[in-house]
Structure 1
């Protein structure tokens, strides 16, 4: 459809002055894109006009239509943002700029470029949510004309559409665009699957025509008898939703297409519930298949009553009951609040909710662009669990969300300081998945901090990003402290102290290594990315004879390791060092110090890099538990595993993991991963085990 049809469509709801502005925008855009063609061979201006058509179908306001026509002029022509602002206003210029891609910035890879472009679009959406409407319409037309692209490019764009743009349209409630993007995405990504489902739906539609007509007649007759005015319509099956339902429920295609869908639209909420009673009287409802999205709307603002009934011949019938306003929101979503209205006050609550969601995405703690993209994907898919705060407020969370996710959804500080949770007034573990209708109370403590293990089971993007941000901050501060200690130790071997090194010399050494400050230098040393011994030599006073300096740090000056440094001091899983073991530290880039036992078999290969070894010793009074692995050969008899586990528990030793290795019919080898305080604790545990008559041999595992 061309510009004439677009203007005719706009004249049905916009005043003549605004239609003239849009005509002016078309002439400006056509001139700017003069000579440019799309891959299909048609003039480039045809694409912006098609995008404007999609938005005109949603009856959007004039600035949005103008922005749609001009959305590529900054990116693809010599036109500047200021020129658009001067001619069409700052409002339109900001919209166009928000949609434009980041072609003029250099990125390390395409994934990062895409993620940065997406982040910019989100920032623009926060300022004006109409940006995403233009972007969604742009993507819709690109998907309609995807056939001119090479196959690999088609699949990439289709996957991105299904993963990002269709879920955004769903989150904003724009059902018409969401459905088309999903169907076009499936067709481009899996053409044969799309073809099979489309053929099955057409066949089912033909076979069921008489059946559907009979049910429609019965529903209308029931409404008429009760004196209720409303319209009944058969609901078209959405092709992509059929595909998703097949995958999710693992059922054949025939089981999905044999379900009949109907929609009843009435005048008020009160009537919706009356109609629900009528249809339940007409056909028997299926237990557990009723959903009240009027009392508890979906997060995208969708409201409706859903019920599934046993129809004639026990065929399932799905019925949606809603008001005209709800139907309008269901089809247009957030777009309904930007549609051109004359002299009408619009309800801003829905728009504010969408803006709040966007603000939360943009304010996620920092990280790489790829991490941000993953967080956005996690947050896009529909919410399934509705839980309550102790005050009765509804919280919408994704399926499998835990108490930790709930805590972070209330506030980041509550998540960071949570120590326990009560669900329906009963204490539960923080990793407990939440279910619909539960009341959740979070217990916090002032000095509490996030547990790194939470990252393994939280499902919301906000919780994951907050925990990751905390761990990165923790790693930085620990690396700085450890690096400072290591540099102090290296300087001591050179008969110097850090206090005697002038600040200017430290700053100069950092600058020589392309670092901003001494703090960055300490961090690099702590993470094993710079060697303390080499940095110490850079800090020597000018003129020092380096030939007389010791080549390796002395054992007498070993660095004391307390065992609590956490993320920048790691304990090797090959030899499981514990306090009082003779140990050495290997500097691993990015991981900091990795502690090994001196008897570890892996030391042979590591000793080829003496500059990466550091003398370390255990600090006194280490207050934490360390993992250690024992191999226990036992007589193969009933209950031997339970007897050994009970014996270990008597020594106040925690069992982390047990492995069973069947050696022969008479004996079995058990591998226990235990937590002990030090060598004395381990020796006591081994002594207890060796006294058992079933135990043949106990050995500590060593690589």
Structure 2
């Protein structure tokens, strides 16, 4: 364990004899002096933490500036040290790195979605400026996770969740697989200690039953490679507990049925020997179909190169084998960090090390233009958490996509123009639906047509952040005018309902209050159902949105509940005040209200103990209970606006509009309106039915797959 300046210098000198030993010692002394008197949660001197972080980075054979930054990474934030003083003593490069780590430390990555998305943007900006900032931060998190037991239990859970959600995937994306695995396992130990302990016990039992499987298979592999006259190093290991747990969850298998829990690595002298070793392994053991990946000919974006294959070993047990050269192995161990690593006193000239500037530019390019916080966050997580597949264009060019990608993703990966004009696809020469999942090695041909534009359904088909961003941008452009026109009608109706007018000045005030760009943005979001009329009115006239004193509050709207018992309305039947209702109890979930004639109640016939005899309060209720109407109207100018006006005049608020069918003369739209009671619903339906442009109107009940899924979840509780 590195505890003194001599220990650290000795460690660094081992891979970099030309290190600036004096500067490292000065940084060690300065950091110790600045942190003097500070203690960690464990009671140890605080400076033991920066020293441990520096040692982790030294083990990765990184440059002096990165190691000195580790020693000083908490000085600007937690001690009297200043940026200018650090710059004066250790140079501008170190000062910039320490300042960058300080700013990252202050990011609250586990906060609300809007804040989290904004902080992810700052994270990527920091990465773009100098990737070594992230390397120090990851090593800082690794040491904190190694010593997490000294923290309060609730703090442990918070840090472990943040590690599992953000730092471990980021380490994996950077190619630092060893760090990803250790971070995941340390977080797993906090978040699910029982599961981890169970897996460790099963491992011990398995070893007692089968002996040292790793040693036996390693010996067999050495014999096979010796017969092929190949010199190579062979390492075997059992996979980490969290990796095994994840496989058990994904495959829905028990530990006893899980086969590939051992991994082996073969390190050769040359690329040619990698393929010769592969041949020797496949001659001796049967290859498992679909489990071969050649990352040497098709390397990952972070520079990772290796051959992966899974074979059936002794007793039919599957084992994963990775084959690579020494230089490939160095990159596989340190990922993007290999760019700064040293060997024998000089910067390592590893031909497989990726240029960090190009890597981060490629990563951040996918998120440019995504201005919506939630969508940006979705895009980042999609790209960070997914494995890759490799497909080919008809000309043989390689396109890298996330696992589970579709031809839509493939088209947008080639060019946004190709994606937007896509009308079909062929995989290996056969026409396939656009929702088909592409697989490794397939050849994909995109069929385009002039005049084609992205469809709304593509958002459900696409999986990559780049494709989803481009589709949303195109849809917003196409639908902006239509949504804005519809939004103006909704705004007029919402404001008239409270006796006000939706003037441009009022709408501009609402836009500012809701932190939107302008009135057009406000109207567009109303027209696309991202904002409700109630929310817009409340932004300008909050006092008008409150429940009147003579109205029944929602929490006491139902009679027959126990004290403190909450309720929700079932989405399948959406019961309204005035209708006969039945309550179904759920452990820890309160009560779900169903209309007495709801078809879903049959699912609970054999559980009478869960039924409650309830009724609505007889008083006047606020217009806060949503119900969905299925309306078929003529496709004429102004008709939809007229419908919205009638709903507003009836004292109802439109919460959502969803077009489900469009034809040249008619279209169907699902209108989700917020009402007071069943009487208001009956009056509203009569009013709309009397309108000459309305061909049909019914109350919509969700009797499809969604309701089945809800019932299944409820029954499982």
Distance 1:436 1:66, change over 3 A: same
Aligned equivalents of 1:578, 1:6: Cα separation in 2: 77
CA distance 1:44–1:115, change in 2 (3 Å): farther
C-alpha change, 1:205 and 1:91, in structure 2 (3 Å) is farther
How far the C-alpha of 1:206 sits from its partner, in A, is 5.0
1:406 aligned residue:
410
| Among 567, 573, 578, the residue aligned to 2:633 | 578
Is residue 25 of structure 1 aligned with residue 35 of structure 2?
no
Indicate which of 444, 450, 454 corresponds to 2:458. 454
TM-score, with length taken from structure 2: 0.69
Pick the structure with greater CA Rg: 1
Aligned counterparts of 2:55 and 2:203: Cα–Cα separation in 1 = 28
2:668 matched residue in structure 1: 627
Structure 1 unaligned runs (5+)?
491-497, 499-504, 539-571, 586-592, 614-620, 630-677, 684-698
**Any idea what SS the aligned residue of 1:100 has?**
helix
Q: Encode CA deviations 1:596-633: one digit per residue, 9 max, x unaligned.
A: 595xxxx5x962379x99xxxxxxx994751279xxxx
Label 1:219 to 1:434 Cα distance change in 2 as closer, same or farther (>3 A): closer
Match of 1:329?
331
Query: Residues of 2 paired with 1:518 and 1:55: CA distance?
Result: 44
> 1:520 aligned to 515, 518, 521, which one?
518
Deviations 1:235-276 (A, max 9, x none): 332222111111112222123368554332221121122222
Distance across 2 between alignment mates of 1:157 and 1:107: 10
Is the contact between residue 480 and residue 519 of structure 1 (CA under 8 Å) also seen in structure 2? no
Secondary structure of the corresponding residue to residue 124 of structure 1: helix
> How many Å separate the matches in 2 of 1:192 and 1:594?
61
1:160 and 1:350 map into 2 onto residues whose CA distance is: 27
Report the alpha carbon displacement of residue 388 of structure 1 after superposing the two structures with TM. Answer: 0.8
Describe how 1:422-461 pairs up with structure 2 within 5 A. 422-445=426-449, 447-461=451-465
**8 Å contact from structure 1 (residues 299, 383) kept in 2:** no
Alignment CA distance shift 1:520-1:273 (3 Å): closer
Distance 2:399 2:260 in 1: 35
Match 1:83 to one of 82, 85, 88:
85
2:293, 2:307 within 8 Å by CA — same for their partners in 1? yes
Q: Which residue in 1 is equivalent to 2:588? A: none
Corresponding residue to 1:231 among 205, 230, 233: 233
Question: 1:132 and 1:606, CA in 2 relative to 1: closer, same or farther beyond 3 A?
Answer: farther
1:388 matched to 2:392? The reply is yes
Does the 8 Å contact 1:580/1:679 carry over to 2?
no
Structure 2 gaps, min length 5:
495-501, 541-626, 656-661, 671-690, 701-717
Pick from 364, 373, 379: which aligns with 1:359?
Answer: 364
Moved more, 268-277 or 10-19: 10-19
| SS of equivalent to 1:39 | coil
Work out whether residues 367 and 376 of structure 2, in 8 Å CA contact, stay in contact via their aligned partners in 1. no
Q: Is residue 168 of structure 2 the alignment partner of residue 127 of structure 1?
A: no
Aligned partner of residue 173 in structure 1, secondary structure:
coil
Residues 325-358 of structure 1 show CA distances to partners (whole Å, capped at 9, x for unaligned) of 2222222222222102416534376235532343
Partner in structure 2 of residue 58 of structure 1: 60
Question: Could you tell me how far apart the structure 1 residues matched to 2:488 and 2:644 are?
Answer: 22
Asked if structure 1 preserves the Cα contact closer than 8 Å seen for 2:405 and 2:462, the reply is: yes
Which of the numbers 194, 197, 200 marks the counterpart of 1:195? 197
CA gap of 1:378–1:22, structure 2 versus 1, over 3 A, is: same
> Is the 8 Å Cα contact of residues 577 and 595 (structure 1) preserved in structure 2?
no
Would the alpha carbon gap of residues 443 and 279 (structure 1) be closer, same or farther in structure 2, given more than 3 Å must change? closer
SS of the counterpart of 2:324? strand
Distance 1:477 1:379, change over 3 A: same
Q: Report how far residue 408 of structure 1 moved.
A: 2.0
What is the aligned partner in structure 1 of residue 698 from structure 2?
701
Specify whether residues 470 and 289 from structure 1 end up closer, same or farther in structure 2 by C-alpha distance, changes over 3 A only.
closer
Whole-angstrom distance in 2 between the partners of 1:169 and 1:512: 43
**Given that residues 234 and 267 in structure 2 are in contact (C-alpha distance below 8 angstroms), is that contact kept between their aligned partners in structure 1?**
yes
For residues 361 and 509 of structure 1, do their structure 2 counterparts lie closer, same or farther at Cα, with a shift above 3 Å needed? closer
Aligned equivalents of 2:667 and 2:121: distance in 1? 42
Q: Partners in 1 of 2:633 and 2:488 — Cα distance? A: 24
Cα distance, 1:157 vs. partner? 1.9
Any idea what SS the aligned residue of 1:626 has?
Answer: strand
Aligned residues: 571
- Measure, in 2, the Cα distance between the counterparts of 1:486 and 1:596: 6
What's the secondary structure of 2:73's corresponding residue?
A: coil
Does the CA-based 8 Å contact 2:511-2:517 persist in structure 1? no
TM normalised by structure 1 equals 0.70
Q: Residue 93 of structure 1 aligns with which residue?
A: 95
Cα distance, 1:135 vs. partner? Answer: 1.5
Report the CA distance between 1:197 and its aligned residue. Answer: 1.0
CA distance in 1, matches of 2:642, 2:388: 43
Any idea what SS the aligned residue of 2:275 has? helix
Q: Secondary structure at the match of 1:701?
A: strand
Bigger drift between 240-249 and 442-451 goes to 442-451
